[in-house]
Amino acid sequence: MTGKSLSERIGDLGHRLAVEAHAAWLAARDPRVPNLARLLAVAVAAYALSPIDLIPDFIPVLGWLDDLIIVPLGLILVRRLIPASLWAELHAAAEAASERPSSRTGMAFILLLWAGLLYLVYWAVRTSPVH
């Protein structure tokens, strides 16, 4: 029996982090989760799922450090602040959702949202008076 290749292990890690981030997002919206855990879960999930990173990914090595350190540490802290049985329920829901096909409508909505935000920034810069 041969082990998994490096690319397969990286893919597995990426999948696990995506499921954990989704579970954190579910935790942020669940009223049974303590408030501190909900607040941290929002921050971690938003950062993990955001296309904008603290350190851009195109910077060699450093660009991946935030994804490999900040997100997992935040997820570990969120998981410790939530009762184990509740976390197991949220994680199972996130795992089930990861097995469904992705939503093109959801992706289009997010892209339109980002485009709208960029337009608002552009409009604000263009219409602001220059001193």
> Dihedral through CA 73, CA 75, CA 80, CA 82, nearest 10?
160
pLDDT tens over the chain, length 131 residues: 567 888 788 778 778 888 888 899 899 999 999 999 999 998 888 887 777 766 776 777 777 777 778 888 999 999 999 999 999 999 999 999 887 655 666 667 778 888 888 888 888 888 877 65
How big is the CA angle at 102 (ends 115 and 112), to the nearest 5 degrees?
10
- pTM comes to 0.64
Q: What are phi and psi of 34, to 5 degrees?
A: -55, 150
Strand locations in 18-97, DSSP E? none
Task: Give the pLDDT of residue 2.
Answer: 60
